Structure 1
Amino acid sequence: MAYISLEHVVKRYKMGEVTITAVDDITFEIEKGEFVIIVGPSGAGKTTVLNILGGMDACDEGTILVDGKEISKCNSRQLTTYRRYDIGFVFQFYNLIQNLTALENVELAAQICKEPLPAEEVLRHVGLGERLNNFPAQLSGGEQQRVAIARALAKNPKLLLCDEPTGALDYITGKAILKLLQDTCRQQGMTVVVITHNTAIAPMADKVIHVKNGRVDRIVYNESPMPVEEIEW
């Protein structure tokens, strides 16, 4: 059985009189420890898929299983627990608390988990061993995103969900962040899902799910994923 599976998932939003189907009968599977990229144009439904997978939104139809747990049957309280213990989130904007240091930002996230990793150790892992006591305003964009990744990793999540994690970064910094995510997946066996509109980075993934008009357009499997360093765009 797959580690994560979505079967015939549908999500609709009501906008006044109009109903918009953001996700229209989506089915796919993700194995444990896979690096998966969900790619598609703006408005294709990829962020909605991520929100449903992360328990930030409930689906209207279909089944979602994560590590044997049927997320699609959870109530809002159960979804809060699922988000807290099982999911690490990384967004385009870092959402750090400005009056806390890098270390304190990560420690704060670790406090709400069952089996957190040591905050200082995780910050060293993401290359910020010298920046533990710096505030967000004293860090570059790339460093702030590393703190955000460390914060997600410190929760020791089953699943790391990243929504356009390099969207606010320059090319070189963005590449370094993608390498960090790819290395984390490989070295720690963590299941990582990255959402992007940048099709050029597709060769770095084990699996690429192309989403179009709220549906899975196609799924591409890479037998030998490329290291990010070798990809140009």
Structure 2
Amino acid sequence: MDSFVRFENVGKVYHSGDVKVHALHDVNFEVDKGEICVIVGQSGAGKTTLLNILGGMDTLTSGKVFLGTAEISAMGKRNLVNYRREDIGFVFQFYNLIPNLTALENVEIASQMIKNPIPAEEILNDVGLGERLSNFPAQLSGGEQQRVSIARALAKNPKLLLCDEPTGALDYNTGKQILKLLQDQSRKNGMTVIIITHNSALTAMADRVIHVKNGSVSSQRKNEKVIPIEEIEW
């Protein structure tokens, strides 16, 4: 199977005054279409830098990054804006909802920018919020706000869903519900999902597991036996 996401010898150097900080060096990995990939590593290992480069929010210093046949690392600013808007869905630890818009409006605002969005009401039903369309973020629990945030990302019908510690602000049971939602959505839509986390227990839910340490990929493997999130304990 041709890889869908591909990193080739990727390096990233930040300059802090005269000091060079090597955030990533010689990173190589691939993810196939429709896979759930969990990238795991300690804080400061380079996970978020990696995700930001893939999402077009940061540039690399060396190497190449591809999504399908498109070389993201060769895109100019305007193409990167279109790429972020049309091809990528983002889910962060904090929900970034607009407080004075309802759940429905928060999702609609994302889908208005896209050519072929999934209707906001349909996707909110999919994530279990069909009864909460007219609620404002302050009227929703943390788990419900994260569902709105996921619905907003999914409404764009993105080629790739990037999740940065998506359960970090949630309690254990709510976090499991959110991960089950991501697992179910990936299976249902054949969507490629990349989740970064410091919680190595989550690797059991992934089709592919990548360990990042000190800015490099220390190991990567396909998961022969994917476990449903309901059966994983941590």
Q: Same fold (TM over 0.5)?
A: yes
Alpha-carbon offset, residue 224 of structure 1: 2.0
Please list every run of at least 4 consecutive aligned residues from structure 1 whose deviation after the TM superposition is greater than 2 angstroms: none
In the alignment, the residues of structure 1 paired with residue 101 and residue 31 of structure 2 have an alpha-carbon distance, to the nearest angstrom, of: 36
In the alignment, the residues of structure 2 paired with residue 67 and residue 38 of structure 1 have an alpha-carbon distance, to the nearest angstrom, of: 19
Residue 45 of structure 2 corresponds to residue 44 of structure 1: yes
In the alignment, the residues of structure 1 paired with residue 214 and residue 115 of structure 2 have an alpha-carbon distance, to the nearest angstrom, of: 38
Counterpart residue type for residue 170 of structure 1: D
Match of 2:128 in 1: 127
Spell out the pairing of 1:75-224 with structure 2 (5 A cutoff): 75-224=76-225
In the alignment, the residues of structure 2 paired with residue 225 and residue 99 of structure 1 have an alpha-carbon distance, to the nearest angstrom, of: 40
In the alignment, the residues of structure 2 paired with residue 40 and residue 69 of structure 1 have an alpha-carbon distance, to the nearest angstrom, of: 27
In the alignment, the residues of structure 2 paired with residue 113 and residue 9 of structure 1 have an alpha-carbon distance, to the nearest angstrom, of: 30
Counterpart residue type for residue 79 of structure 2: Q
Residue 7 of structure 2 corresponds to residue 9 of structure 1: no
Counterpart residue type for residue 176 of structure 1: Q
Match of 2:22 in 1: 21
Alpha-carbon offset, residue 207 of structure 1: 0.5
What is the TM-score of this pair, normalised by structure 1?
A: 0.99
Counterpart residue type for residue 203 of structure 1: A
Determine helix, strand or coil for the equivalent of 1:103: helix
Counterpart residue type for residue 29 of structure 2: F
Determine helix, strand or coil for the equivalent of 1:167: coil
RMSD (Å) for aligned C-alpha atoms: 0.5
Deviations 1:156-213 (A, max 9, x none): 0000000000000000000000000000111110000000000011110000100000
Segments of 5+ residues of structure 1 without an aligned counterpart are none
Match of 1:31 in 2: 32
Counterpart residue type for residue 185 of structure 1: S
Aligned length: 233
Match of 1:226 in 2: 227
Segments of 5+ residues of structure 2 without an aligned counterpart are none
Alpha-carbon offset, residue 221 of structure 1: 1.5
Determine helix, strand or coil for the equivalent of 1:107: helix
Deviates more, 1:9-18 or 1:164-173: 9-18
Determine helix, strand or coil for the equivalent of 1:37: strand
Alpha-carbon offset, residue 77 of structure 1: 1.2
In the alignment, the residues of structure 1 paired with residue 186 and residue 151 of structure 2 have an alpha-carbon distance, to the nearest angstrom, of: 13
Counterpart residue type for residue 152 of structure 2: R
In the alignment, the residues of structure 1 paired with residue 83 and residue 170 of structure 2 have an alpha-carbon distance, to the nearest angstrom, of: 30
Deviates more, 1:73-82 or 1:144-153: 73-82
Alpha-carbon offset, residue 76 of structure 1: 1.3
In the alignment, the residues of structure 1 paired with residue 126 and residue 212 of structure 2 have an alpha-carbon distance, to the nearest angstrom, of: 32
In the alignment, the residues of structure 2 paired with residue 223 and residue 144 of structure 1 have an alpha-carbon distance, to the nearest angstrom, of: 33
